[in-house]
Amino acid sequence: MKKIFSALLIAVCIGMAIPAQGQIHFGVKGGLNLSKASFSDMGANFKKDNFTGFFIGPMAEFNIPIVGLGVDAALLFAQRGIKANDTTIKQNGLDIPVNLKYNIGLGSLFGIYFAAGPDFYFDFAKDKTFADAKVDKRKAEVGINVGAGVKLLKHLQVGANYNIPLGDTAKLKEDGSESGSYKTKTWQVSIAYIF
């Protein structure tokens, strides 16, 4: 009985120590968005180009060093958009990525991480027209992030991320009826400084 009680007491102490060692840090994050439209129902008639935008804002990161797991979240002003047939449709909005991170430390000055999680995007821009169709953009969009990066000198993070929306970014309407839709898939390159 004493052995069971001792083992249980050790397990409780370890369980209490892990959150105590958890670390929350705040920082700032910024980078480059490289967006491209993926059209449906409209064929491959459009010449599509990449749209280049930016993002910047505060972030928070919580890490449990023993197991290498962590969570990060950011509140970013972000520019996304599409270019097709010499027409540009810009989206300015609020991007809130929340990622589960797995960190691999390779010494105190260098590490790598892998991240994945949901992304919530809220569009501020007004509806526009494209190819004689009204662009009916979604005001709120949910997507999935997948990414990786490196941590340098304990404070600097450089990463790459791919964002895939779960639904359509916008629907195109002509004469009141839907004529197609598109998704804005985005590559992101980021740099973050953690205080």
Cα 183 from Cα 189, distance rounded (Å): 19
Residue 17, H or E segment: helix 2-21
Which range has the worst mean pLDDT, 4-8, 128-132, 152-156?
4-8
Q: What is the mean pLDDT of residues 29-52?
A: 76
pLDDT digits (tens, 9 = 90+) for 72-105: 999 999 988 877 777 777 888 999 999 999 988 8
Which residue in 43, 33, 38 sits closest to 90, CA to CA? 33
How would CATH label the architecture of 24-194? Beta Barrel (2.40)
More confident residue, 112 or 174: 112
Read off the pLDDT of residues 110-150 as tens digits, 9 standing for 90 and up.
899 999 999 999 988 766 665 556 776 778 889 999 999 99
Query: Which pTM value belongs to this model?
Result: 0.77
Domain boundaries, the chain: 24-194
Distant-in-sequence, close-in-space partners of 3: CB < 8 Å, separation ≥ 6: none
pLDDT above 60 (res 16):
no
Higher pLDDT, 21 or 166: 166
8 Å CB contact between 38 and 182: yes
In our burial notation (b when 16+ CB lie closer than 10 A, e otherwise), range 75-112 reads ebebbbbbbbeeeebebebbbbbebebebeeeeeeebe
Got the DSSP string for 74-121?
A: E-EEEEEEEEETTEEEEEEEEEEEEEEEEEEESSSSEEEEEEEEEEEE
In whole angstroms, what is the distance from residue 188 CA to residue 195 CA? 22
